[in-house]
Chain A
C-alpha cells in the first residue's frame, strides 16, 4: 500500500493535467492498493433471482435459468437496487485558496471525479452539481461509463468564484432529486452553519445518505504566516493587515471551535464526515468513502 500511495500524493497528481486521467489514476492506484478488500465489487455482486414481471428489462433475463427450467427469471444485482449518487462540488471563491500543489478546488474536483469514476466503474448512477451562490452546472445521474466526461466537463468549466450559499443549494438538490440516494458534498464549508445544518437535516429527512468531504488547506489549519501580511477576504469584502503571529492563537481557537461544531453537527445528523487536508494523499477520501459505504450497507443489511 505505501508504494501505491506514493503516487497518490497531491504533488504527483498535480502533474496530471486532465481531470479524467487524474480520476482514473487515483482510483486505479487506490484499487491496486485495496484489491484484497472484502468490499471490492460488493455492489455489483449477484444478489438474487426474481421472477420476470411485465415491464422488466428483457436484457436482464437469465437465459441459462430459462434453458434449464423454461421459466423467466431476472438476475438481480445489489447496485441496481440502491446507489444513485450525487456529487455536490463547491466552486465558490473560497475554494480558490491553496498554498500546496493543489488548491482546495483542484483537490475537491479530483476527489469528486475519482468518486465518480469509482462509482461508474461499479455501474452506479452518478450525477454532479457544481455550485457557488447557486447551482452552476448540473449533470443528471447516469451510470454509463462515458458519463464521467460530462461530470468532468461540469467541473472544468467551473472556475471558482462568488460566494457560497449552501442552504440554497441543498434545497435545490432536495427539489431536483426526488429519488433518495447518496449525496456527496465536497466543500470547505466556510458558510453559515445554521443554514448548512438546516439543509443537511432536510436532506436526511428525505432519506438521502450524506457523505461530507470537508476540504481545508494546511495554511488554514495551521496558520503558519509571519511578517506583516494583508489578508484579503475571498468571499467577504473585509481586509485585515496584521502581524499574523500575534493573531494565530486566537485564530486556531476559533477554527477548532468551528471544526468541532461541524463534526458535532454531522454526527448528530448521521452524516459521514471526513476532513481532508489538501496535502493528504488522494486515496484518503476514497478509503473514507468505501469505509462509509460499508458501514452503510451493514447497517442496511441489519
Chain B
C-alpha cells in the first residue's frame, strides 16, 4: 500500500465532489428557454440520449479523476519497498547526532539554529513514522557523547510507531541547548560504536549541526571517522542549521592580572572581549559586579573586526575569603558567551617566608621591610624571617612564596621539603651572596637539571668595569617580573650597577624546549636572573645579593618595584587564574577529619541537574569530591559541613568556552573540500526534505503527474467532442 508524504492533504479528495457540485449548481442556474420547435429537439434527444449520457458520465469520471490526480500529486504518494522488506525484513536504523554546543543558540529574530535543527529532526521522525517497515531511531546530543560516562543517547534504537512523532516532538521541546563547546568527533565516535549493535540494518546517520569553521578546522580525524562510516554503508546526511553568520561579541576572559591578591589590596583584574564578526564593534560596555554589587562598568571604544581586546581594572575586597567578580555585556546573537564569572580567593595576607643564610639576617630584614613597610602602605604581604633550619621541621604549605637569601647549604630534609613545596606549586626565590657553596648548589639543587635550581654555577665572580662601555649593567626581558621596566622606554634600571655575581657554568645554556629561561642578563651576557618551572611551581634564581652588598640595586627604587613584582609572580600559582570551563569536572580533596562526607551543591540556575547533595569518596588520608557535570556557566557553591559545627562555603566560577562564540560558518563547498573523499548528502535545515523518498520508498508523484496529464488531455478531447463549436465563418457572421 502506498503511503503519502503529506497524508493530511488527502482530505482534499473531498474535492472529488466538485464536478458533481458544479453540475448541480449549473442545474440550478440553468437557462429556461420557452421553445417552439420542441418537435425536432425531442427527436434529437430520443436519438442521442444514451450516447450523450455515456459521454457525460465519462467526462464526469475524467474530471473527478483529474481532481483526484491533483490531490494525490500534492500528497506525494510513496510506494513502500514492501517486497524488499518482506523478503529481508531489513530494519532501518536512523541515528541522529544533534549538535547542542551553545553556538547552536545563535539567534536571529524569532528563530535560532537550534530551533531549525530540532524541526529537521522532527521531520525525520515524522517521515519515518509514515513507514510501515521497521525503523528504529537513535538521538544523541553532542553534549551527551563526551566524558567518562560514555555516550548517553536521549533515544536509543527506539522503534518508530505512529505515536513516535509526538513523543519526539515532546522530547525535543524539553531539550535546551547546552552551554558546552563540543565538536562532532565524540558524537561520531559514539555513533560508530552504536553501529555494532545495528549489524545488518540499513543505517542512515544524520549530523544536525551548525558547521562552524572552528569545529572542522582539523578535519583529518573526522574524515577518517566519516570514511569508516561510508565503508560500513552508512548513509550520511549532513544538515546545516545556521544560514548566515551573525555578529557576536564574547567576554573571553575575566581573570586576575599579575599582582598581589589579598584582602584590602586592590586586586588587578583583566577583562578580554572577542569580536567575532566582520565589522568593528563600537562603544561596548561591560557591566561589572563584585559580590553581586554593581561597580563602574568597563567600556571599549572600538574592538576591530575579528580581534580581541582587553582592559584592566582593579577589584577591591576589604575582607578575606572567596569573592565573586562577574562581567556581562548586552545581548547579541549568542547570549551564553556574554557573561563571565571569576572567584577570587583572597587571604588576609600573603605569607612569605624569608630564609637568610646569614645569622644577622640583614638582607632578610631589608627584603621584609620592602615587602611590609608598615604604616599606611598596604602590600598585602606578610613576610617572616627564619634561619635555614626552619625548613627542616616546619610545614611550608602555608607560604605562598619562600626566599633563600645567601644560603650556603641545606640539609637533605630541607632540600626535599623545598622540592616538594615547589613541585606542588610553590614559588621559590633564590638570591646569592658570599655563602652559597657551588658544589652543594650544583650537586644537590641543580642535579644536572633534575633539581629545582635552574642552572649550574661556576662560582662567584666580579663584573669587570668597562669605562668605555656605556651600556647598563642589567638587560631585562619582558618577563612579568621585569616587564614593567620595558614600558614606555623607562630607563629605571640604567643606574643599577652589579659588582659581583655568581657566574653560570661556562657553556651552559638553557635547553630550547626546557622549562628554564634567562629573564635578565648582565652587561657581559652572564645570566643574572633565571627562571625554572619545576613541577607546578616556579623557581627564580638571582645571581647577586638581595641587599646592597654585591650591587647598588637594592638601594635603587627600581629594586622595590622588581621585588614586589617578583613576590606577586612567585605567590601566584601557575594556572590559578585560569577559568574552569563548562563540562570539565571539578575535583578537590578534603581532610576527612575536618569535614562531613555529605555536602550540598548549589549550582547556577541553568544547571540541568539543579541543587543536589554530593558524597565524597573517602581514601585513607583524604576525601575526594567530584562535581562531574558542571554543565552551566556561573558560580558553583559547595556547602561543606565542618566536623562539630559550622558550615564552610567553597565557590568555583565555571565559564563557557568563549571560542564557541565564533560563528564563522563553513559553506557547503568548503565543507566538501575538507571532507574529500567522504560521500554524504548536504542539506540546509530550512530546505531539508531529502530523506523522505529514501525513507518511505519510491515516490510515485511523477507517475501521478503523467497520469494526470493524460487524464486532462482525454478530458479536453472528450469535452471538445461533446461540445458545440460553430464554424469560423458562422462565428464571424454572428
**A→B interface (CB under 8 Å):** 93-97, 104, 188, 190, 217, 220, 222, 224-236, 238, 240-255, 258
Q: Are A253 and B36 closer than 8 Å at their CB atoms? A: no
When distances are taken between beta carbons in the complex, the residues of chain A under 8 Å from B55 are 246
Docked Cα-Cα span, A156 to B448, in Å, equals 145
Docked Cα-Cα span, A100 to B598, in Å, equals 108
When distances are taken between beta carbons in the complex, the residues of chain B under 8 Å from A229 are 30-33
Task: Decide: A240 near B36, CB < 8 A? Known: A227-B30, A229-B31.
Answer: no
Residue of B34, B41, B722, B730 with highest tally of chain A CB at under 10 A: B41
When distances are taken between beta carbons in the complex, the residues of chain B under 8 Å from A225 are 31, 33
Indicate if B724 sits at the interface (CB-CB under 8 A). yes
**B→A interface (CB under 8 Å):** 26-27, 29-45, 47-48, 52, 55-56, 722-724, 726, 730, 734
Task: Decide: A254 near B34, CB < 8 A? Known: A227-B26, A243-B56.
Answer: no
Measured CB to CB, the closest approach of chain A to B601, in angstroms, equals: 82
Docked Cα-Cα span, A251 to B27, in Å, equals 22
Q: Are B30 and A235 closer than 8 Å at their CB atoms? A: no
Measured CB to CB, the closest approach of chain B to A9, in angstroms, equals: 15
Q: Are B29 and A228 closer than 8 Å at their CB atoms? A: yes
When distances are taken between beta carbons in the complex, the residues of chain B under 8 Å from A234 are 34-36, 38
Measured CB to CB, the closest approach of chain B to A247, in angstroms, equals: 4
Task: Decide: A230 near B42, CB < 8 A? Known: A246-B48, A250-B48, A255-B37.
Answer: no
When distances are taken between beta carbons in the complex, the residues of chain B under 8 Å from A227 are 26, 30-31
Q: How many CB-defined contacts (below 8 Å) exist between A and B? A: 114
When distances are taken between beta carbons in the complex, the residues of chain B under 8 Å from A255 are 37, 40
Task: Decide: A236 near B34, CB < 8 A? Known: A245-B723, A254-B44.
Answer: no
Docked Cα-Cα span, A252 to B43, in Å, equals 10
Docked Cα-Cα span, A94 to B36, in Å, equals 5
Q: Are A248 and B29 closer than 8 Å at their CB atoms? A: no
Q: Which of A228, A235, A236, A247 contacts B44 (CB 8 A)?
A: A247
Q: Which residue of A lies closest to B36 (CB)?
A: A94
Q: Which of B30, B31, B40, B723 contacts A251 (CB 8 A)?
A: B40
Measured CB to CB, the closest approach of chain B to A248, in angstroms, equals: 5
Task: Decide: A250 near B33, CB < 8 A? Known: A236-B38, A241-B27.
Answer: no
Docked Cα-Cα span, A73 to B255, in Å, equals 154
Q: Are B45 and A242 closer than 8 Å at their CB atoms? A: yes
Residue of A227, A231, A248 with highest tally of chain B CB at under 10 A: A231
Task: Decide: A231 near B41, CB < 8 A? Known: A97-B35, A190-B36, A246-B48.
Answer: yes
Task: Decide: A190 near B37, CB < 8 A? Known: A229-B30, A247-B44, A250-B44.
Answer: yes
Q: Are A251 and B26 closer than 8 Å at their CB atoms? A: no
Q: Are A231 and B39 closer than 8 Å at their CB atoms? A: no
Q: Are B31 and A240 closer than 8 Å at their CB atoms? A: no
Measured CB to CB, the closest approach of chain A to B321, in angstroms, equals: 95
Q: Are B38 and A240 closer than 8 Å at their CB atoms? A: yes
When distances are taken between beta carbons in the complex, the residues of chain B under 8 Å from A94 are 36-37
Docked Cα-Cα span, A258 to B41, in Å, equals 12
Q: Which of B31, B41, B52 contacts A228 (CB 8 A)?
A: B31
Docked Cα-Cα span, A255 to B726, in Å, equals 17
Q: Are B38 and A233 closer than 8 Å at their CB atoms? A: yes
Docked Cα-Cα span, A63 to B41, in Å, equals 66
Minimum-distance CB pairs A-B, first 3: A250-B44, A245-B724, A94-B36
Q: Which residue of A lies closest to B44 (CB)?
A: A250
Task: Decide: A240 near B37, CB < 8 A? Known: A224-B726, A226-B724, A246-B48.
Answer: no
Q: Which of A233, A243, A245 contacts B35 (CB 8 A)?
A: A233
Q: Are A240 and B26 closer than 8 Å at their CB atoms? A: no
Q: Are A247 and B48 closer than 8 Å at their CB atoms? A: yes
Q: Which of A220, A222, A228, A240 contacts B45 (CB 8 A)?
A: A240
Docked Cα-Cα span, A226 to B30, in Å, equals 10
Q: Which of A190, A230, A254 contacts B43 (CB 8 A)?
A: A254
When distances are taken between beta carbons in the complex, the residues of chain B under 8 Å from A236 are 38-39
Measured CB to CB, the closest approach of chain A to B648, in angstroms, equals: 95
Q: Can you list 6 contacts pairing A with B, beta carbon distance less than 8 Å?
A: A188-B36, A225-B31, A227-B30, A230-B30, A232-B32, A243-B722
Measured CB to CB, the closest approach of chain B to A219, in angstroms, equals: 8
Q: Which residue of B lies closest to A98 (CB)?
A: B36
Q: Are A247 and B45 closer than 8 Å at their CB atoms? A: yes
Q: Are B722 and A246 closer than 8 Å at their CB atoms? A: yes
When distances are taken between beta carbons in the complex, the residues of chain A under 8 Å from B34 are 96-97, 231-232, 234
Docked Cα-Cα span, A246 to B726, in Å, equals 13
Docked Cα-Cα span, A110 to B40, in Å, equals 27
Having A228-B30, A249-B44, A254-B39, one finds 16 other A-B pairs with CB under 8 Å, namely A190-B36, A228-B26, A228-B31, A229-B31, A230-B31, A231-B35, A234-B36, A238-B42, A241-B30, A243-B56, A245-B724, A247-B48, A248-B44, A250-B43, A251-B37, A251-B41
Q: Are B723 and A258 closer than 8 Å at their CB atoms? A: no
Measured CB to CB, the closest approach of chain A to B27, in angstroms, equals: 6
Q: Are B45 and A235 closer than 8 Å at their CB atoms? A: no
Measured CB to CB, the closest approach of chain B to A161, in angstroms, equals: 12
When distances are taken between beta carbons in the complex, the residues of chain A under 8 Å from B734 are 224
When distances are taken between beta carbons in the complex, the residues of chain B under 8 Å from A248 are 44, 724
Measured CB to CB, the closest approach of chain A to B728, in angstroms, equals: 14
Q: Are A231 and B33 closer than 8 Å at their CB atoms? A: yes
When distances are taken between beta carbons in the complex, the residues of chain A under 8 Å from B56 are 243, 246
Residue of B36, B37, B52, B734 with highest tally of chain A CB at under 10 A: B36
Docked Cα-Cα span, A228 to B26, in Å, equals 6
When distances are taken between beta carbons in the complex, the residues of chain A under 8 Å from B27 are 228, 241
Q: Which residue of A lies closest to B731 (CB)?
A: A224
Docked Cα-Cα span, A94 to B40, in Å, equals 14
When distances are taken between beta carbons in the complex, the residues of chain B under 8 Å from A252 are 40
When distances are taken between beta carbons in the complex, the residues of chain B under 8 Å from A251 are 37, 40-41, 43-44
Q: Which residue of B lies closest to A225 (CB)?
A: B33
Docked Cα-Cα span, A37 to B104, in Å, equals 104
Task: Decide: A230 near B32, CB < 8 A? Known: A241-B27, A243-B56, A244-B724.
Answer: yes
Q: Which residue of A lies closest to B55 (CB)?
A: A246
Docked Cα-Cα span, A204 to B159, in Å, equals 101
When distances are taken between beta carbons in the complex, the residues of chain A under 8 Å from B726 are 224
Q: Are B33 and A232 closer than 8 Å at their CB atoms? A: yes
Q: Which residue of B lies closest to A228 (CB)?
A: B30
Q: Which of B37, B44, B52, B730 contacts A220 (CB 8 A)?
A: B37
When distances are taken between beta carbons in the complex, the residues of chain B under 8 Å from A220 are 36-37
Measured CB to CB, the closest approach of chain B to A83, in angstroms, equals: 32
When distances are taken between beta carbons in the complex, the residues of chain B under 8 Å from A95 are 36
Docked Cα-Cα span, A263 to B301, in Å, equals 109
When distances are taken between beta carbons in the complex, the residues of chain B under 8 Å from A231 are 33-35, 38, 41
When distances are taken between beta carbons in the complex, the residues of chain B under 8 Å from A226 are 723-724
Measured CB to CB, the closest approach of chain A to B55, in angstroms, equals: 7
When distances are taken between beta carbons in the complex, the residues of chain B under 8 Å from A244 are 724
Docked Cα-Cα span, A225 to B32, in Å, equals 11
Q: Are B38 and A254 closer than 8 Å at their CB atoms? A: no
When distances are taken between beta carbons in the complex, the residues of chain B under 8 Å from A247 are 41, 44-45, 48, 52
Docked Cα-Cα span, A250 to B724, in Å, equals 12
